[in-house]
Each structure stands twice: as C-alpha cells, then as structure tokens.
Amino acid sequence: MANERKLTCIVCPKGCDLTVEFDDAGAIKNISGYTCPRGKDYAYAECTAPVRTVTSTVRCEDGEVVAVKTATPIPKSMIFEVMAAINAVTAPNDVKIGDVIIADVCGTGANVVITANR
C-alpha cells in the first residue's frame, strides 16, 4: 500500500491536487502536484504543523453581529478553543475594520480582528 497522502492546495483558487509521499519512518519523502512553490510549502506545513485562518462573527452590545477573523493563521488543533473565545466576547457598537477584538487569542500569538464596518 502506498504510504502517501492526497491534499488539495487551498492557498489559491486553482486548487492543485497534491501528493505527499512518506518513508517507512513517516518522514516526508516527496511532494508532487504543485504548480508553484506555495503549494509545496502548504503541503509540507499541512503534514507537519497544519494551520488555519479562523473566520467567524462576534455579537455587539446592541445584539447585531460583525465579521471577524484571526489576523494570522493559528494551529489547526486550536480551532475549537479559539472559536470558544470568539463566541465569548462582545464587541463595542462602534467597532470598525481592523480593530483588534481579542489580542493573542488563546496564546496563539494571533489577534482576532474586525473585518467589516457596521
């Protein structure tokens, strides 16, 4: 049985099909299918330390919601913890694009920022 993993690159809309081959010790032996170096980097990271940018919404004091995201990617394993932190916060009514609503969310080093004006 082939010791490989199939991925779809999510770095750009082209969505290249990537194949990562592993040796018997589980180390990455070869990466193929990428059209540009970003795809190779994505495949390597996805198989060693996967990260994601989290997008969501937070409720404002008046009950309306506003869009947010992590300004930088966070470890994939911390998505649920970060989502819980985002769900627990209430934003002031006068927030605007770029405002930091949670600094260093869950110790990831990433800020959660507002991504839309109200």
Residues that bind ligand SF4 (CB under 6 A): 9, 11-12, 14-16, 34-36, 38-39
Closest separation in Å from C-beta 78 to ligand SF4:
24
State how far the Cα of 34 lies from the Cα of 57, in Å rounded to an integer: 33
Beta-carbon neighbour count of residue 62 at 10 Å? Answer: 10
34 within 8 A of 7, measured Cβ to Cβ? no
Q: Between 14 and 59, whose beta carbon lies closer to ligand SF4?
A: 14
Q: Between 35 and 87, whose beta carbon lies closer to ligand SF4?
A: 35
Q: Between 12 and 89, whose beta carbon lies closer to ligand SF4?
A: 12
Closest separation in Å from C-beta 7 to ligand SF4:
10
State which residue has the least CB distance to ligand SF4: 39
Q: Between 49 and 65, whose beta carbon lies closer to ligand SF4?
A: 49
Closest separation in Å from C-beta 72 to ligand SF4:
18
Residue 109 sits at the vertex; the CA angle it makes with 13 and 55, to the nearest 5 degrees, is 40
Q: Is 32 exposed, middle or buried (0-12, 13-18, 19+ CB in 10 A)?
A: middle
3-class state of residue 38 by DSSP: helix
Closest separation in Å from C-beta 77 to ligand SF4:
23
